[in-house]
Copies of this chain bind each other. A is one copy, B any other.
């Protein structure tokens, strides 16, 4: 077991009646707010008006950057950073899902430097200062509301890259499960696949991790498996939305990542898909995950599958390990494709074989994916082929 530092300084206001605290939270950092959001669904749901009213009440001056893309682009980051400089912004308020929050993190960092925002991703530029961020979460998925990383796409280079800094934790996040009532069945399914994938990436670990954290991860996985189908069937089920929302934050948090001993696998393979095809991240992960599990299964890795199968899917522990492992893969696929109703092949979502070579190369831009099992470009290509 390796040493770790645990540090999640984000304060979370969870529940139905927390918006009254928004003005106070923002006012801690100044008077001039840059509000960031995506396509404008927050105007339809009333969340925009509610936030504006709270900020007005607190006497804040609000500037706006709308139109942040799903798979947010470096262009939006650059634009936001310019706005912060131009208007002397004190604090950022992101209203949205992981895309908006990720972009806002990098706006907060880029606003404090003279170099180009993309340098944080490709030139090893380090965050030494960042504007404070507050978030209002509208989608349970990425965990960005309570962590310190963000993923940004660059359409010019067809790159989608992640970077992080301790300075990019939101100061506070507002999590109201009711806000997610309007999330479509499809986006709820994709978000749930994303949450599950984050936990898988850590749970499937090269080294034995910590029993306590394994147990917590198993609890989080059971939560997603139990409540995602309920939220899809009954979009206004508070209990389901609340459990998914809080599980999304913890599923990628510094608590369970503490025991991570190797790189993630499905995420880098998926980032190449959504960089090229702009498909929803969670959908790409869903298609890849059971194939990746199958590809990595052998005598040396079977133990982890057995633990997952028995503790999360309730598979009979007395069966032979390989049989439990196969059943665990089946149960994962059943959850993703039948219970969540997501498309189960690349063919169905329009991803073409002709791009496999270049995507596999890019996924292994560091030579390989040094994950649960080390994957080279040829391995990644084979996994892509299993997804056809």
Contacts and interface: CB of A to CB of B under 8 A. Distances in A.
A16 B3 CA distance: 7
A246 B239 CA distance: 28
A243 B5 contact: no
B215 A223 contact: yes
A1 B238 contact: yes
Interface stretch (A7-15, A52-60, A264-272): A7-15
Interface in A236-276: 238-239, 242-243, 246-247, 250, 258
Interface in A202-248: 210-216, 218-220, 222-223, 226-227, 238-239, 242-243, 246-247
A227 B211 CA distance: 9
Interface residues of A, number: 39
A248 to B, nearest CB: 10
Contacts of A218: 215, 219
Nearest to A13: B5
Contact of A11 (B7, B15, B223): B7
B222 A1 contact: no
A15 B227 CA distance: 35
Contacts of A212: 219-220, 223, 243, 246-247, 250
A268 B96 CA distance: 44
A277 interface: no
A298 to B, nearest CB: 26
Interface string A1-40: 1111111110111111110000000000000000000000
A15 B4 contact: yes
B18 A14 contact: no
9 contacts: A3-B13, A3-B18, A5-B14, A6-B11, A212-B223, A215-B220, A215-B223, A216-B216, A218-B219
Given A1-B15, A3-B15, A212-B246, 12 more contacts: A1-B238, A1-B239, A3-B14, A6-B12, A8-B8, A210-B246, A211-B226, A211-B243, A212-B219, A212-B243, A213-B246, A216-B220
